[in-house]
Every structure is written in structure tokens, then in C-alpha cells.
Amino acid sequence: MLKQGIVVVVVLAICLGLCSIALAQEKIKIGIVLTSNASHYLDTQKGILDQFEKSGYGKDKVDFNIQFAENNKDKMLAIVNEFQANKVNLIIAVGTPAAIVASQAEKNIPVVFSLVFDPISSKIAKDWGSSGNNTTGTSTMVDMAAIINAMRKITKVVRLGVIYTEGEANTTQQLAALQKIQETSKITVIAANLAKAEDGTAVANSLIGKVDAIFITGGTTVTKALTDITTVAKNNKIMTVAHMADRAKQGVLLCVSSSSYMLGQLSTKKAIQILNGKSPAELPIELLKQYDITINNAIAKASDIKVPASMLSIAKNIIE
């Protein structure tokens, strides 16, 4: 009997040891949904993954399920549903559309968002200090007054055209933010709705003669029409402005932006706090404290717009 008892104890000990090893080796599951494969979303993805690796949460410890939604809301929902079925520990949503869908579809699994312009107006969170729910993250919001001041260091701006898309939350929020400061900034905002990407040339032409500069919002429809819009502006010697740095490579003259890469890193720091026991509602939604200036000087020269040396000296990136 004694020998049998010893054998049972040994077997139990081995089983418990194997179970402990299995649990220790079980990976954390993180689902990442990106609105699309646009370059600013990819920059954010890189920041997210680099920060996880830097913080000791590399692929040896984390199972990353990264999916692109192609700016399709049905696909976003299907991706989130897949994450739910796979019982992920955390969802990261990149871009306003993906964050809206994820926050509406999932009320228990923590959702960390990045590259969202206004999470409050988008109804993702209740307040900047605390979301009041299972979400937290970072915002691309840039002080619109700072953008206007940067424009005026290059050219006189009184009438500002804004190309946006009705129905795309981030673009309408950016339009509203500019309209809100019209009086204090002494500008007149002239809005132009771009319903379809193929109408980019026509919509840009509708602003010619009416505006001193054109602000290009961050929507997907606008992005698809960006080359057409910037070509019209360049040919008519009108400055274009945006709040995302990658737009400069696509022909926008001036970009005043938060770093997409750094926003990804900041969102990951929040995700790690959640994995270590914090509630998303305990973590405030944050913006970066400083902006990058990117100037496409080749476009400026082609538009006969002279960028002062004082602006070139403070630009983080200059495209010649």
C-alpha cells in the first residue's frame, strides 16, 4: 500500500508539474485590427509591435493576430467577432472606423485604440480622463490653431477650404474643429464634401478662387483622391495642409502632425498596463505633447510658394 501511495503521489506531482509548464508556456492572445493598410496605419502598427518587443512581450510570449479591414465596416465587425471567438486577452484597434466598430461590438475584452482623432465625439469613450468603459488609447488630435499658425508662416490665409467626407467621423470632426476656431483665428472655413474619390478633381476645382489654402482631412475617401486634389492645388498655386505626416509624400505641401509611430508606442504602453492588471477606465486617453512639421519643398517650388528659412529650420522632414 505504501508503495502504491508513493507512486500515486509521484504521478500527481508530475502531472501538476506538466500542467504548470503548459500554463507558463500559454501565450497571451492579442488581436490587432487596422482600418486599412494606409501608410500611417502601418507606421502605427510598427510602433505597437516595436514597443511590445522592447517591453518584453515579443512573439515568444504573445500570439499577435493582425488583420486589415480594407476600410469595410462589415469586415471590421467580422474581424472583431473572430477575436472574440478566439478569446483574445486584448484588442488593439488602429484608426477611428476600426475603433468605433470594436468598441461597439465588444464590451468586456479591453480595447486599446490608436490613431483616433476624437474618441469622445466618436462615442468610443465618455471622457478624456476616463473612458468609463473597456476602452482607452491615444489620439491624433492636433491643435488646429497651431496648424493655422504654421500655415500663416508660409502664406497669408484668411479663407480656408476643407475637403472632408460626410459620414466619415474623423473628417467631420476635423472640419468641426476648424469651424469652432474661425472667430478666434480670424479665418473663414469653406467646406467641400467629397462623397466619391473619383470626384477629387471636381471638388478641388470647386474651391479655386474661393480659398487661400486647402486643409485635407484624414478620411479614406479623401486619401484615395489625394493625388487629384494636390495636383489641382499645385497647378493653381494654392497651399495644401494636413495633420498626417505621410500626406507630404503624396503631394501635400505642409503637414503638422503627431507621429503615428509614437502614438502606436504610447498605445502599447497602455496595453501592457492592462495586461498587468489595470482597468482601461483607469488609464486616461492621451495625445502627444509635441508635433512634427513636414514640408514638401518640391511642391512648394512647383506652386511658386516660398517657404521661409525659419520654417525649414524647424521642420523635422523636408522633401526636395
Q: Please state whether beta strands 188-193 and 213-216 pair in parallel, antiparallel, or not at all (unpaired).
A: unpaired
Amino acid at 108: N
Local confidence band at 25 (pLDDT 50, 70, 90 cut-offs): low
Amino acid at 39: S
What is the reported pLDDT for 13?
Answer: 43
pLDDT one-digit tens code per residue, 263-273: 999 999 999 99
* pLDDT above 90: percentage of residues in the chain: 87
CA 308, 310, 312, 315 dihedral sign is negative
Q: State yes or no: pLDDT of 59 exceeds 90.
A: yes
- Mean pLDDT along residues 173-202: 96
- Lowest-pLDDT range, 14-23, 95-104, 240-249, 296-305? 14-23
What is the reported pLDDT for 219?
Answer: 86
Helical ranges in 127-243 per DSSP H: 144-152, 169-180, 182-185, 200-205, 220-224, 226-235
What is the reported pLDDT for 5?
Answer: 47
Q: Specify burial of residue 21 (Cβ count, 10 A radius: 0-12, 13-18, 19+).
A: exposed
Structural contact between residues 98 and 76, judged by C-beta atoms closer than 8 angstroms: yes
How far is Cα 114 from Cα 209, in angstroms, rounded to an integer?
37
Is CATH 1.10.1040.10 the classification given to domain 28-141+260-287?
no
- Mean pLDDT along residues 177-181: 96
Please enumerate in sequence order all residues whose Cβ is within 8 A of that of 5, keeping only pairs 6 or more positions apart, or say none.
none
**Topology of domain 144-257+292-319, per CATH?**
Rossmann fold (3.40.50)
For CATH 3.40.50.2300, list the domain ranges present in the chain.
Answer: 28-141+260-287, 144-257+292-319
pLDDT one-digit tens code per residue, 90-104: 999 999 999 999 999
How far is Cα 105 from Cα 83, in angstroms, rounded to an integer?
11
What is the reported pLDDT for 289?
Answer: 84
